[in-house]
Structure 1
C-alpha cells in the first residue's frame, strides 16, 4: 500500500511541476525583434535572416534560438513537432525554391553543392560509399555515383548510375561543385579517408550526358596527399561559392598546419599553384572566390588592439592585388559573423560595438551600402532585451 502512495505522490508532484512550468511559460512572451534600416539600400537584406540566441537568466525560457528578419522574430523551438523545428528557418533557400518548382525531381536531394542549373536543365550529382569494413589495405570498397538531369522544357528526367571502386579507408564522398562543359557535367568531389587519419582527397568526375560515360580523375595536387597514413590530417576547401558557374576552381589545402592554394581549370583539369608572392600571409585568409577574383579578409592591428578589418582582392587574370575595402570603425577584437554573397560582404557586429548591427559592403566599390540594427519592439524592456540577444549567423538562404 505504501508503494502505491509513494507512486501517487510522485505522479502528482510531476503534474504540478510540469503544469507550473507551462503556466509560467504561457504568461511570458518572448521579445520580438526586427532588423531595421539605419541607412542604405534595404533591398539588400530582403529575404535574409540573422540567426542567434536569446538568453535571459530570469526567464523560464533560458536560451532560445531565434531568427530575425525585417518582419520580426521566429523562435523555432516553440514549434510543437520535430519537422517544424527542422524547418523553422524563415528564409527560403534555393533548395526550397526548387522543391516548390520541381517537387518530384527534388525528392531525396539535399546537397546544394551537388546541383547545376541553367535555363535548360537542372542537374544533381551525388555519391555514396558502402559501410563494409576491411583490414586489408589492398581491398576496394564499392561506391555509387547517381546523376539526375531534369530537362525543364520537356519536363523529363534522365538518370545515370555507376558503380566505382574506392580504397578501403574511404568513408564518404562529398560533391563540392558541379559545372557544365561541352555537354559534360564536371563535378569536384572529395573522397574522405578516415581509417588511419583524416585526409580529404580531391577528384574530378566527368559525366557525358550523351553517352552516359563516367570518368574519374584524381587531382594530383603538389604537396597534397592522396591517401592517409597514421595521424594524417588534410582538409581541402573549395573557395568558390555554391552555384558559382565558373571555369576555375580555387582550392585551399590545409595539411600539417600549413596551407597551400591551387587554381584548377575545370575544362582541362590543369593545376596551377597560387603562391601569392610577397603576400604569403594571405594563404590563411582566403574567404571567398567569385568570378575572376579571390577575396581575403584580415584583421587590422593597432596599438589599442584589433580594430577594423581589410579586404584584399587578387585578380586571377591580371595577377594584381587591390585593397577593395578598409574599415576602422568595426571592432573585430571579439568574434564576428560574416558571409560573402557574390561581390558583397555581409558582416554583423556584436555587443562590443553599437549592439547587433548588420553591415553590407560592396566589394567592387568598397562602399557601405547598407547598415541595419536589430531592435526589440518591446519598449518597456528594450535595452535589456537587446543585451540578451547574441547573433552568430547570417542566413542568406544560400545553403
Structure 2
C-alpha cells in the first residue's frame, strides 16, 4: 500500500489544477469570432482556417483559430489538437485524421504521395559511418480499397558516395513510385536523382541522374533550393524546383550574399527530362529574387506564381503543356497580412478599411479568370456580448486549409 501513497496524493493535485484552470477560463471569457460571408460562394472557404493572436496589450495574447463556424483558442484545444497543429503542416492534417495508423511517425510532407487508390510514403534513412553511410529507402504503401499496407526497405543505388540525401518529391507513374532527391557529396553542387521504386517489395530500384541547364549571369552564383515550394501531396506529371541566383555585395564593413533573381526547374516525372519554361511574365516576376513574399504552386500541368510587390500582388499562371502564360496585378484594400494559394484560387487577408486597422477581410480570387469569387469579414458571433470594436485587437498572421 505504501508504494501507492504518492499516486493518491498526486491525483487530487492534478484535478485541482485542472479545475482551477477551467474556473479561470470561465471567469474570463474571450470573444467568439467567426468568418462572416459578405459576398460570393461560401463553399470556397469551407475548409479555410485563419490563424491569429488576440490581445489588447503585449502582455496578454491568446492564439486563436477562426473559420466559418466560429473560433477556438489554443488554451481550449485538446492536447492531441495542440500536438497535431504544432507538428503537422496543413496538407498532412487531414491525412493524420483519416489514416492515423498509416501516418504514425511520418513527418515529411515531401515524402508523401496520395491519389484515389493509394497513399504512399518514401523516406531515406542511413546507417554506418558519416563519411560512408549505407542509405536505404523506407517505403510504405497503403491500398485504400483493401486497407492493407505494404512496407519494405531497399538500398539506395550508389548511396555510399553521398553525405546527405533529401527527398524532394514522390509521385507515381506506370504503377511505380518515382522519387526525386537532392544528393549532396562532400564537395560540389547537389545532384538531382530520379529513382524508380516498386509498389511492392522485390523490385530493384533504378537510378537516373537528372541533367539541367541554368544560365548564370556573370559575377553571380546559382544555388538549388530543394525546400522552397508549396507542399502538395497530389498527383502531378511534373516536379518543380527553384534555383536562386545571388551575388556578393558589400554591406557596411562586411560582404553578404544578396539574391538577385531565380530560375525554375521543371522535370517530367515519367522520363526525367527537363521541361523548358519560356515565359517573359515568369522571368519578370522572378527578377529581384524573393525580397518580398513569393510562392509557387504546381497543380497538374498548371504552374502558379504569386509575388507581393510595391504595386500590389502580381500573379502568373503558366501551362507547362501548351507553354501559354498570363499575368495579373491585384491591388487589395490594404497591404496583405497573409497570402495563400491552393488549386487555382488565391486567398488574401487584409484590413477591411484603407488604414488597415480594422476587422480582417478575406478575399478569394479565381486566378484563372481574375474574378473575386468570395469576400468575408471576421466579426463577433451572434449573442457575443463584447463590443464590436474588440475585433481591432485581433491580428491574423496565417491561413491554412483543413
TM-score after normalising by structure 1: 0.75
Find out whether 1:366 has 2:370 as its counterpart.
Answer: yes
Distance 1:130 1:375, change over 3 A: farther
* TM-superposed deviation, 1:259: 1.7
Aligned length in residues: 352
List gaps (5 residues or longer) in structure 2.
1-18, 247-258
1:189 aligned partner: 181
Q: Distance in 1 between matches of 2:308 and 2:222?
A: 30
Aligned partner (choices 385, 388, 392) of residue 382 of structure 1: 388
1:128 aligned partner: 125
1:3 aligned partner: none
Q: Distance in 1 between matches of 2:63 and 2:284?
A: 36
2:400 aligned partner: 395
CA deviation profile, 1:22-45 (whole Å, cap 9, x unmatched) = 986653222211111111111111
2:306 aligned partner: 297
- Residues 98-177 of structure 1 aligned to structure 2 (within 5 Å): 98-130=95-127, 132-133=129-130, 139-164=131-156, 165-167=159-161, 169-170=163-164, 173-177=165-169
Q: Distance in 1 between matches of 2:206 and 2:108?
A: 21
* TM-superposed deviation, 1:337: 1.0
Query: Are the equivalent residues in 2 in contact too, given 1:55–1:63 (CA < 8 A)?
Result: yes
- Partner of 1:105, secondary structure, is helix
1:338 aligned partner: 339
Find out whether 1:244 has 2:228 as its counterpart.
Answer: no
Query: Are the equivalent residues in 1 in contact too, given 2:65–2:73 (CA < 8 A)?
Result: yes
Q: Distance in 1 between matches of 2:32 and 2:190?
A: 43
* TM-superposed deviation, 1:150: 2.1
Aligned partner (choices 279, 285, 297) of residue 276 of structure 1: 279
* TM-superposed deviation, 1:208: 2.6
- Residues 245-264 of structure 1 aligned to structure 2 (within 5 Å): 245-256=235-246, 257=259, 258-264=261-267
List gaps (5 residues or longer) in structure 1.
1-18, 134-138, 226-230, 301-305
Aligned partner (choices 316, 322, 330) of residue 318 of structure 1: 322
Q: Distance in 1 between matches of 2:100 and 2:23?
A: 41
* TM-superposed deviation, 1:220: 3.2
2:83 aligned partner: 86
Q: Distance in 1 between matches of 2:280 and 2:85?
A: 46
Query: Are the equivalent residues in 1 in contact too, given 2:66–2:72 (CA < 8 A)?
Result: yes
CA deviation profile, 1:346-387 (whole Å, cap 9, x unmatched) = 11114743531111111112111110111134454321x211
Q: Distance in 2 between matches of 1:106 and 1:279?
A: 36
Q: Distance in 2 between matches of 1:39 and 1:217?
A: 51
Q: Distance in 2 between matches of 1:215 and 1:268?
A: 12
- Partner of 2:317, secondary structure, is strand
1:303 aligned partner: none
2:61 aligned partner: 63
Aligned partner (choices 203, 209, 212) of residue 212 of structure 1: 203
- Partner of 1:140, secondary structure, is coil
Query: Are the equivalent residues in 1 in contact too, given 2:282–2:316 (CA < 8 A)?
Result: no
* TM-superposed deviation, 1:295: 2.0
Find out whether 1:47 has 2:47 as its counterpart.
Answer: yes
- Partner of 2:133, secondary structure, is strand
* TM-superposed deviation, 1:207: 0.3
Q: Distance in 2 between matches of 1:117 and 1:279?
A: 29
TM-score after normalising by structure 2: 0.75
Query: Are the equivalent residues in 1 in contact too, given 2:115–2:234 (CA < 8 A)?
Result: no
- Partner of 1:254, secondary structure, is strand
1:327 aligned partner: 330
- Partner of 1:280, secondary structure, is helix
Q: Distance in 2 between matches of 1:200 and 1:51?
A: 36
- Partner of 1:268, secondary structure, is coil
